[in-house]
Chain A
């Protein structure tokens, strides 16, 4: 991994320089439009195509294009629309009933009805079936068939985000096929009901999607416009860029900012940058056992927040589309707000004053843990240095860093969180302040407020509880919310598409210009 990081640094730099010399020479191939095929390259191959048995982004993307969910969240209006379900009703705190759509068929011809919903939900809810991301399914108690097109779903506890999860990771599999073939079958011969179907799959190499001609007309997703999508797994980012430059690729994502800037100069390519739901923030360890006792003083924590010029970092390092946050959640998540919370402007003089008041006129030494976006961590360290806080960087793999945090060895951390693209604040804030092992603040009041928000189905009670929790966190500077992270897509100029904050690549919407 060390070699790989060094490798990226050197090759990135030199590739950038050499790229300039190739600018005039590369001739774009127009094959993609002629074949009506999008050639999409992604770095990681999913371990299984079945959406319940992988947790990589491309798995989620394939999941949304090849399968359907009961409910669909319209990304433009923010409202939930019926997809495989026509309508639904909350019966009580833990029960929802769905009326299902008629006339839908899976890619293998099997008819969609209540059996598929019941079988899929009960299968994935069973921990014995080892769905990879348990948090996506372990809230389900059971599904019962009430009629050919009517299903009742009960949750284990009061779970207000149920509809959000049913609009996201919980797809519906065909009952007969899934009962026979299981996840292994879904991996070798995937069958869903979505706008695209899998026509060819070479594990680890490529997966080819073809337009589903029988996709049902009333779908809020809409039928696919482009006939074929060829997804190739190319692990090296430089190679992905090379494929784009030589005209053999149409779409890549997660392009590093400096390469995206270079690609923008190419006549045959376009760069689209979109904000994502991934937020960056700093945790401050204010427990009694903290390695840096200075952090127990709220003035020190406020000084840290005042010391960092977040606006500058966002503008010059993080990139287009990102924004500064004042609450540690993504703004579109239900319950996330920065109304009434203390905002900390960049003010190094005030920071020094606060530190002096707290008894640290010459600052102090501490350590900061990070596992990605190292250039941002280094910028933060520089700002802290200017007010006298000397933070040494401890950069490691995610798993190693998390061990240290849970063992109480971390003082400052620079972390990110994508909330699994779940648009509900219960997927973000409670992780860091809900009293479990990643909570290094352990403030009882915040925990109570969060519990109240998590266990009510009344949206107003939830909003109010979360707002109060977020206010308390900001007022006490328990943590430092930083910014949102953007994603850069590089695509052929011929391709027309939109980037969404949930990092979902909606292949079915794309067209040629």
Chain B
């Protein structure tokens, strides 16, 4: 088990470094950063000043190594656009995004668990098809369009919820639904498959034979076993949702990491962009690693590979 973890850890680290290198290069390819920072009306002298100040005139490998070294020592540099240290800025916004992402996963599970159980119990029937349709509905709609529909219904027509902002829990309801719905189908299908497999198992037949009520059989025995891979998937989906929050946060004006990423891309704020990409990829890699380890712990067959 230890060897397995060690191997996965090494791989995870390599992935994080590779992502940071790619992000670093891609940012430089999209136009001269000095012009982007100096702005539309800047003269050649202004641009040169910017170039020298931020060290863009040094060779690329030097800039990358310099940045990586500083990051590992905890110095995330200063935001070019906001003119304040990048680290506290990123950490403050991360809180909002984590809250949104976690509640989105909870919401996704809240939808997909009942649907998955129902679909498995009444497999291949009309109920099964309806459950699948409901789950896939969330994935088929682009989340920005779904967000717009929610706003039109709950804010403009019904006046139940506020349109945008992040002042109260009410402001997080629609973003959670719009973001979380996307993850529901994967959970639902995984749970349905898991339930079907488990429901055919010997110990379930035993439980039934013992005369246990259907509810106990389904929830206490079947579901508890079938849900394990779903939880492992949830860890990965959480990482995925952190990236998908950019659009949702922009639409609902939530001041989180996604919105900060959008702003830093728009204003070519290189230090912040690089650090956000690095942070998100590290989080994603850690979550994937946790998911791998959880799966391996539960299913010894995986460790042998």
Contacts and interface: CB of A to CB of B under 8 A. Distances in A.
B32 A403 contact: yes
Contacts of A462: none
Interface in A398-427: 398-400, 402-403, 420
B294 interface: no
Nearest to A7: B144
A420 B159 contact: no
A55 B156 contact: no
A403 B31 contact: yes
A381 interface: no
A451 B159 CA distance: 60
Interface string A108-120: 0000000000000
A55 B38 CA distance: 10
B268 interface: yes
Contacts of B40: 398
A232 B254 CA distance: 11
A307 to B, nearest CB: 28
Contacts of A239: 151, 163-164, 251-253
Interface stretch (B41-49, B55-63, B102-110): B41-49
Interface in B233-266: 247, 250-253, 255, 259, 262-263, 265-266
Contacts of B148: 11, 14-15, 18, 238, 242
A10 interface: yes
A232 B43 contact: no
Contacts of A398: 40
Interface in B109-166: 142, 144-145, 148-149, 151-152, 155-157, 159, 162-166
Nearest to A202: B255
A184 B84 CA distance: 9
Interface band, chain B = 35 or more
Nearest to B49: A127
Interface string B22-43: 0000000011100110011111
A403 B253 contact: no
A235 interface: yes
B4 interface: no
B152 A397 contact: no
Contacts of A22: 152, 156-157
Contact of B35 (A27, A48, A242, A403): A403
A126 interface: no
Contacts of B267: 47
A402 B145 contact: no
Interface residues of A, number: 50
B145 A234 contact: no
B195 to A, nearest CB: 36
Interface in A107-153: 127, 130, 132-135
B156 A232 contact: no
A437 B44 contact: yes
A127 B81 CA distance: 18
Contact of A27 (B159, B263, B265, B266): B159
A233 interface: yes
Contact of A420 (B41, B83, B255, B265): B41
Nearest to A233: B253
A248 interface: yes
B82 interface: yes
A330 interface: no
A373 interface: no
Given A11-B148, A239-B251, A242-B155, A135 B262 contact: no
Interface string B152-195: 10011101001111100000000000000000000000000000
A397 B251 contact: no
A402 B40 CA distance: 9
Interface string A34-57: 000000000011011000010100
B250 A236 contact: yes
B46 A242 contact: no
A130 B40 CA distance: 16
Contacts of B35: 399, 402-403
Contact of A242 (B142, B152, B247, B268): B152
A400 B156 contact: no
A234 B253 contact: yes
A205 interface: yes
A426 B46 CA distance: 18
Contacts of B262: 235
Nearest to B40: A398
Given A55-B39, A133-B39, A239-B251, A25 B164 contact: no
A213 interface: no
Contacts of B165: 205, 232
Contacts of A25: 156-157
Given A18-B152, A204-B255, A246-B155, A47 B81 contact: yes
A127 B49 CA distance: 10
Contacts of B159: 27, 246
Interface string A223-257: 00000000011111011001101101000000000
Contacts of B32: 399, 403
Nearest to A238: B148
B105 to A, nearest CB: 23
Nearest to B155: A246
Nearest to A25: B157
A261 interface: no
Contact of B43 (A55, A420, A436): A436
A134 B252 contact: no
A130 B50 CA distance: 10
B119 to A, nearest CB: 30
A14 B145 CA distance: 9
Contacts of A27: 159
B41 A135 contact: yes
Residue in B41, B166, B263 whose Cβ sees the most chain A Cβ within 10 Å: B41
- Most A C-beta atoms less than 10 A away, residue of B35, B142, B164: B164
Interface in B43-99: 43-46, 49, 53, 81-83
A26 interface: yes
B277 to A, nearest CB: 16
B157 A26 contact: yes
B148 to A, nearest CB: 6
B267 to A, nearest CB: 7
Nearest to A187: B83
A28 to B, nearest CB: 11
A489 to B, nearest CB: 19
A11 B149 CA distance: 10
19 contacts: A7-B247, A18-B149, A26-B156, A27-B159, A45-B263, A183-B83, A205-B166, A235-B253, A239-B251, A239-B252, A242-B148, A242-B164, A243-B163, A248-B162, A248-B163, A400-B31, A403-B31, A436-B43, A436-B44
Given A183-B83, A242-B164, A399-B32, 18 more contacts: A7-B142, A11-B148, A18-B152, A27-B159, A47-B82, A47-B83, A53-B83, A55-B39, A184-B83, A204-B259, A232-B253, A234-B253, A239-B151, A242-B155, A399-B35, A402-B35, A403-B31, A403-B32
CB-CB nearest 7 A-B residue pairs: A399-B31, A400-B31, A399-B36, A234-B253, A47-B81, A399-B35, A246-B156
